[in-house]
Amino acid sequence: MTASSNSPAPLRLLAVHAHPDDESSKGAATMAKYAASGVDVLVATCTDGSRGDIQNPAVEDEPHPKRDMAGARRLEMERAAAILGVRQRWLGFVDSGLPEGDPLPPLPAGSFATLPLHQAAAPLVRLVRSFKPHVILSYDENGGYPHPDHIMAHRVAVEAFEAAGDASRYPDAGEPWEPSKLYYDRAFSPERFRALHFALEEAGLQSPYAERLAAWLESDAEGHTPPPATHPTTTQVDCGDFFEVRDDALRAHRTQVDPLGFFFAVSPEMQRRAWPWEDYSLIRSRVPSELPERDLFAGLR
Annotation-wise, does 231 bind a ligand? no
Residue 5's pLDDT is what?
47
Annotation-wise, does 95 bind a ligand? no
**Domains within the chain, CATH numbers bracketed:** 12-188+277-285 (3.40.50.10320)
What mean pLDDT, rounded, does the chain reach?
Answer: 92
Q: What is the pLDDT of residues 246-297, one digit of tens each?
A: 999 999 999 999 999 888 989 999 999 999 999 999 999 999 999 999 999 9
Burial of residue 157 (number of CB atoms within 10 Å: 0-12, 13-18, 19+): buried
Tell me the pLDDT band of 215, cut-offs 50, 70 and 90. Answer: confident
Q: Which of 202, 130, 205, 203 is nearest to 173 (CA)?
A: 130
Instruction: State how beta strands 277-285 and 235-238 pair.
Output: antiparallel
Q: What share of the chain is helix, strand, coil (3-state, %, to 5)?
A: 40, 15, 45
- pTM of the predicted protein model: 0.93
Tell me the pLDDT band of 32, cut-offs 50, 70 and 90. Answer: very high
Annotation-wise, does 22 bind a ligand? yes
Q: What is the pLDDT of residues 44-89, one digit of tens each?
A: 999 999 999 999 999 999 999 999 999 999 999 999 999 999 999 9
The answer to whether the CB of 114 falls within 8 A of the CB of 108 is: yes
Burial of residue 284 (number of CB atoms within 10 Å: 0-12, 13-18, 19+): middle
The answer to whether the CB of 179 falls within 8 A of the CB of 133 is: yes
